[in-house]
Amino acid sequence: MNKAFVKETGENDNEESLPPRLPPGSKNYMTPCGYRILRAELEELLRVERPRVVETVAWAASNGDRSENGDYIYGKKRLREIDRRIRFLTGRIDNAEVVDPGARQQSDQVFFGATVTICNTNDAAAEQVWQIVGIDEADVSVGKISWVSPLARALLKAYEGDVVRFMSPSGEREVEIVAVRYE
């Protein structure tokens, strides 16, 4: 059978490992910090990780029988993963639109890069602080949400003091914008 019709084992087995997708026709907005992190990862892969794996694969190939050579088989698989990640990062970096929230004049309107303090209309004591960032730098555990998330979409272009509604996984929610700042 032709190799084009055979899926290699372990390839794309975990759908959760797929990187987030940009909405069609949208720009890849990111903060300067997020851009630096992606560039650093790309440089690490190109200058350190990939050469090390190529060296291992070359050594393993020189040992002879490749069909039962674990170093060779694993090395080739890891090389494919690295090359796939390099292509992904290169595409994201090439299409990046870097927006510096610190350069924006302070405003009470929410735009990309804003750090927004919100509170539930039902429970005013429970304030949350979120920064609206690019999809590749979103990390809920440190208070960074993607600009394409339901909450961020509801907040964008709203003003301090506005009450916005959005659909969360637990149902419709209503939050009030307490403060907006750009750092």
What is the DSSP track for 117-151?
A: EEEESS-TT-EEEEEEE-TTT-BGGGTEEETTSHH
- Assess if residue 171 is contained within a domain: yes
Mean pLDDT of the chain: 86
Q: Are residues 63 and 80 in the same domain?
A: yes
Q: Are residues 80 and 48 in the same domain?
A: yes
Distance CA 101, CA 35 (A): 13
Domain extent at residue 55: 28-98
Q: Where are the alpha helices (DSSP H) in 28-129?
A: 32-44, 50-62, 70-94
DSSP tag of 65: -
- Assess if residue 143 is contained within a domain: yes
Confidence at residue 98, expressed as pLDDT on a 0 to 100 scale = 94
Q: Which residues contact 50 (CB under 8 A, 6 or more apart)?
A: 79, 82, 83, 86
Say how many domains are in the chain. Answer: 2
Are residues 93 and 134 in contact, defined by beta-carbon separation less than 8 angstroms? Answer: no
Distance CA 98, CA 157 (A): 19
Query: Which of the residue ranges 14-18, 83-87, 137-141 would you say has the lowest mean pLDDT?
Result: 14-18
Confidence at residue 54, expressed as pLDDT on a 0 to 100 scale = 94
- Assess if residue 160 is contained within a domain: yes
Confidence at residue 153, expressed as pLDDT on a 0 to 100 scale = 94
Beta bridge partners of 17: none
Query: Which of the residue ranges 57-66, 92-101, 127-136 would you say has the lowest mean pLDDT?
Result: 57-66
Distance CA 138, CA 142 (A): 9
Residue 123 has pLDDT above 80, yes or no: no
pTM, to two decimals:
0.78
Q: What is the CATH number of the domain that holds 54?
A: 1.10.287.180
Between residues 78 and 169, which one has the greater pLDDT?
A: 78
pLDDT, one tens digit per residue, over 31-74 is 999 999 999 999 999 999 999 999 999 988 888 777 778 888 89
Confidence at residue 17, expressed as pLDDT on a 0 to 100 scale = 57
Q: Which residues contact 175 (CB under 8 A, 6 or more apart)?
A: 118, 119, 120, 121, 151, 154, 163, 164, 166
Q: Are residues 172 and 127 in the same domain?
A: yes
Distance CA 74, CA 91 (A): 26
Q: Are residues 119 and 148 in the same domain?
A: yes
Q: Are residues 164 and 136 in the same domain?
A: yes
Per the document, the length of the chain is 183
- Assess if residue 22 is contained within a domain: no
Domain end call among 55, 82, 98: 98
Residue 12 has pLDDT above 60, yes or no: no
Domain end call among 98, 116, 147: 98
Q: Are residues 73 and 119 in the same domain?
A: no
Residue 7 has pLDDT above 60, yes or no: no
- Assess if residue 144 is contained within a domain: yes
Instruction: Measure CA 39 to chain center.
Output: 13
Confidence at residue 106, expressed as pLDDT on a 0 to 100 scale = 83
Q: Are residues 55 and 75 in the same domain?
A: yes
Residue 1 banded pLDDT, cuts 50, 70, 90: very low
